[in-house]
Amino acid sequence: MKPFSRAQRVGGQIQRILSTLIRKEIKDPRLAAVIITGIKMTRDLRIARIYFTVQSAMTAAGREAAAEGLESAKGYLKRSLAAELGLRYMPDLQFFHDDSLDYGAHIDQLLESIKSDHGPDRSPSEE
């Protein structure tokens, strides 16, 4: 049995190529801080769900601008991917903001506030 499915292998290739294209080829300032965090492919390789986050601007406006930039560059990205991948059918690209990093930062803030409220030597049960 193969350790990874074909969809996972193609998704990894798409992530690598997209990251390079966004970093080196596309000059859109809305995409300057975009990081591709993951790709989920359908089993038939027809749809690629691309998850991204914005490194510096964690505001809703920054996320919206990045999403608009990715949508406007979709045609170029799709053509460039088709030339690199050599698949029979080029998957449709769908972009989604990845909220997992924001959620992780929120959990870290909560843990730090609990730690500062109770001090390093007191546990919550001692109160």
Helices (H), 54-99: 60-72, 74-85
5-53 per-position pLDDT tens digit? 889 999 999 999 999 999 999 999 999 889 999 999 999 999 999 999 9
The pLDDT, as a whole number, for residue 102 is 75
**Does 57 score more than 80 pLDDT?**
no
Q: In the chain, where are the structural domains located?
A: 6-99
Q: What is the pTM of this model?
A: 0.78
Q: Which CATH superfamily is domain 6-99 in?
A: K homology (KH) domain (3.30.300.20)
The pLDDT, as a whole number, for residue 124 is 58
90-106 per-position pLDDT tens digit? 999 999 998 877 788 88
Who contacts 79 (Cβ-Cβ below 8 Å, separation ≥6)? none
Beta strands (DSSP E) in 1-127 are 34-41, 47-54, 92-97
The pLDDT, as a whole number, for residue 117 is 76
The pLDDT, as a whole number, for residue 121 is 58
